Amino acid sequence: MSGKSKYNITFDDRDLDEQEECEAVEVREGDNGGRQKWGRQIEFILSSLSYAVGLGNIWRFPYLCYRNGGGAFLIPYGIMLIVCGMPLMFFELCLGQFGREGPITVWKICPLFQGIGYAMFMISFYIGCYYNVVLSWAIYYIYSSFTHTLPWTSCGEEWRSEYCKEFNSRNCSLNGGIMNVTGECIFRNMTTEEEWDTLNTTTSLLKSPAHEYFHNHVLDITDGLHDMGGLQGNIVLALMVAWIIVYLVLIKGVETFGKAVYFTATFPYLILIVLLVRAATLPGYMNGINFYLTPQWDKLFKASVWGDAAIQIFFSLSPCWGGLITLASYNKFNNNCYRDAFVVSIGNCLTSFFAGFVIFGIIGFMAHELGLPVEKVAVQGKLFSVSNYISSQSSLRIAYPKGNLAKEFSINEPEL
C-alpha cells in the first residue's frame, strides 16, 4: 500500500517498518538510561580480557598441558573452547548487553532463574575476597624487594628453622650423590642400604630459604587448628592497600575502571615477556620447552584428559560467575558481542599457551641448577608453590635499580 501526502511526498509500508525498527532500538537504548557506557570499545575488550586472564592461566594450564600429553593437550583444549567456552561467553555477553542489568536483576526476563543470579553474586564475592589475599602477598613481596639483598635468598635468624639450608646441590646430584644437612655430598657406595634410605628421608626435610621465608615469616603458619596464631600486621596492611586500590579503580564505575585496564590488562604481559627473554638466556631453557611441547598422542584416548580440558576452559574463562554479564551491561545495545566473545576467548587461551613457555623455561633452568631431569622437577610440582617460584625468580638475577621487582606468584597445584 502506498499513498501521497499533501506535500506530494510518496511513502510506502517499508518506510514505516524502518521507522518503527529505529524507534524500537531507540526505546531499548533509552531503557535504564542512567547506566554508564564504556568510553571506548577497547576498554570493554581489555576489561573482559583482564577478567578472563588470571592466576589460573599461569598456575594450571602449563601443568595440565604437561600432565595430559604436552602439545597433544592443545587438541582437546581447543575443541572444548569452541564447543563450551565460546558459546557460554557469547551467551553471557548477549544477556548482559541486551538486558543492561547486573547478574541478579537481568534474570527478570525469567524470574524462575533469579536464583542463578544470586549464586553468581556469591561466587564472585567469595573469589574476590580470596584473590585479594593473594594480591596482598604480591604487594608485600614487592615492598620487601626494595632492598640491596632479597630477604628470601638466605636463612634469616628470625624465621629460619633447623631445616633451612642455602647450599646448592647441583654438582652433587649430577654425580649421583645426596647432600646431607651439613652440606656434605654422600654417595651410595659410602653408606649401607639402611643409612642411604635414612639419608634420603632426612634430605627430603630440607627447605629452601624462600620456602622458610614464605611459611614462617610472611604467613607465620602454625602447627594446626589448636594454635590459631595472630594477625600478620604486614599482610593486613598489604591487604588494606589491595582493597584501597580496588576502591579507587571502581570509585566512578566504568569511567575509572575503563581507564585503569589500560595498565592492568597490559602490564602482566610485559612482565611475562621480560621473564621469557631472561629465561631464554639461561642454561636448560630448551630442555623445559621440549618437555612442555613434546606430544604424547596416546593421552588423547583418556577421558580424564578431555575432562581436564573442559575444567580448564571453565576455570580460565570464568563464565557463570556474573562478571561477563556485568561488563557487557555497559555496552551499547547494538555492539558486536560476537566479535568480542571471539577476541576475548582466543586472547585468553593464547595467554595460557604463552605462559607455558615462561613456566617450563624456568622449570628447565631449575632442573639444570638442581642437576635433576626436567620430568622429576615437574612431577614434584615444585614450580607451583609460591616459595619455590619466588626462589626460581631470585635465581634469574634480573637487574633493577632497587631490587628485583619482577615477581610472579603461584600456589600449590590443586588436586583434580
- Residue list for the binding site for Na(+): 52-53, 57, 316, 348
DSSP class of 414: P
What are 398's strand-pairing partners? Answer: none
Residues of the binding site: 52-53, 57, 316, 348
Q: Is the dihedral of CA 149, 152, 155, 160 positive or negative?
A: positive
Q: What's the rounded Cα separation, in Å, for the pair 272 and 322?
A: 28
- From the list 65, 51, 46, the residue with the least C-alpha distance to 325 is 51
Residue 144: Cβ-neighbour burial (10 angstroms; 0-12, 13-18, 19+):
middle
Cα–Cα distance, 288 to 373 (Å, whole number):
10
Contacts of 204 (CB under 8 A, 6+ apart): none
Question: Which residue reads 529505529 in cell numbers?
Answer: 22
What is the distance between the alpha carbons of residues 309 and 288, in angstroms, rounded to a whole number?
22
Give start and end residues of each alpha helix (H) in 318-336: 323-328
How many residues would you count in the chain?
A: 416
Host H or E run for residue 240: helix 233-250
Residue 301 φ/ψ region, left for φ over 0, alpha for ψ in the -120 to 50 degree band, beta for the rest:
alpha
CB 120 within 8 Å of CB 322? yes
185 strand-pairing partners: 179
DSSP per residue over 350-391, as a string? HHHHHHHHHHHHHHHHHHHHHT--HHHHHHTTGGGSHHHHHH
Answer for the pair 322, 117: CB distance below 8 angstroms, yes or no: yes
Neighbouring CB atoms inside 10 A of 279's CB total 24
- How far apart are alpha carbons 244 and 39 in whole angstroms? 24
Q: Which amino acid is at 364?
A: G
